[in-house]
Structures are given as C-alpha cells and as structure tokens.
Amino acid sequence: MTDDGLNRNIERLASLIAGARRIVVFTGAGVSTESGIPDFRSPGGIWSRFDPEEFTIYRFLASPETRLKQWKILVESGLIVNARPNGAHLAVAELEKLGKLDCVITQNIDNLHQKAGNDPGRVYELHGTMSHARCLGCQRRYAMAELLGRIRLDEGAPLCPECEGILKPDVIFFGEQLPAEALRHAVDHSRRCDLLIVVGSSLVVYPAAYMPVYAKEAGAAVAIVNLTVTDFDLQADVVIHGKAGEVMPLILEAVKRNLAAAGGNPA
C-alpha cells in the first residue's frame, strides 16, 4: 500500500470511529507479538517448537510431566511479568477515554489491554488469561504474580498451596470450551455495535473469528488493521495492512482531529 493509500484508509477509519457510538475492538495475536510475546501459530511460533497435543486439557490432567512442561512454556513466554503494552494497546485504551469504545474482545491471554488502561469490565477474554490460576480441587483463584512467588517449577508441576489440588493457568487449553459468559457477552456486543475494528487477527481461529461476521450481519461497519491479508478483507469497509502498534496511534491522532473539527473533545 502506498503512503497516499494508507493515509486515505486511516482517514476513512478515523471518520467511521468519530461517527460511531458503539465501537467494538477485536484483537488477536498480532497485537501481542509487537510486545514481544511469541505467537502460537505463526512460523517460528510456539507450535513450531512444541507439540500442540501437549496443550490439551486431557494431557494436562493426566500427566504431571506434561503439566509441568505446559507451566514452564507459559511462564517462560513472558506473558506474566515481562510484556508491556505497545502503541496498539494504548490507542485502544485511549478510545475508551474518548468515550468511543463499547468493549474489547480479545483472543490474547496477556492482560495487556488492562495494563494499557482499559476498564477490565470492558475486556472479554475469549481464550482466558495468564494473570490468574485456578485450583481444580477447591476452585480457589490465585493472582499469577503472587502465586509464582510461592511455587517452584524446578520441583515439579505446582499444586494448590491450600489443598494440594492441581493448579491450572486460567487459559483455555485444546479440548476446553470457551468461557461461556465471556463468549455470550462478546457475541451480544458484536451484534449490537455500529463499528467493529479487527486489530492484529488473521481471523482463522473460531468461534472467536465469527465476531466480525456477527457485526456485519447486524449492519455494522467492519474495519481490519492487520499485517497480512484475511479471508474477511473483501467484506470489510476499510482494510489497512500494517503493524498494529504503528498504525493504531496514527488512527487515534486522526480521530482526535475529526472530533476537534466537529467540535467534540479530542482529549
């Protein structure tokens, strides 16, 4: 895309955002990778180095050895303490401050939208979160940052400090259903928005990738900001191919110009 083409599409999307009242932002792994978090499915990602079959819930429950390996992969990925929000996360949080954001629906498990400043009540995490772990015995939920100070992965798969039950990161493993409440809210918000913006998702993982379909079917505009082509590009109203962390701040500045020109508050 030429610079002129990019600028035109940024202005088109900024105009849609300025005129919209219920905006849903749907984010995928392309947002997280720009914060240094490894992708699972891309070449060089986690699945190219580890067997995805070892991330099934069945293997997690049946094998302490596999359970320890899963814990180590997730902890050593930097999802918990090392990753920081990038320009895309900060731009989405700023849309909320401008009063333009209805909610964020994310496939990511890194808690970076909340770290960037989004209201946790407006973030629906379809694949769970690494910010917490849960005991499958007593059901006690632990903040992961606190828990890591109490367990020793070099001594084996961690157990609940209270009842010695199996501890599981609050993420969705293969073979598990998506969290019903988060999915219900995501579908409902997608069907009631007037603009859905896909950011950093190739839209190949279902049922999460149905969200722009639901929005379009309900008459909403759909925009896509992604590094590569998606199967939904031809149906989208605006498509911008580029790095989310670079493009989203440019879109935000254009939105502020639109709001100022219309007499709104660019804050």
Which residues are catalytic, by number? Answer: 127
Alpha-carbon distance 149 to 132, whole Å? Answer: 13
The answer to whether 73 and 65 are in contact (CB under 8 A) is no
Please state whether 156 falls in left (phi above 0), alpha (psi between -120 and 50) or beta. Answer: left
Token representation of residue 172: 């969705």
Calculate Rg over the CA atoms of the chain.
19
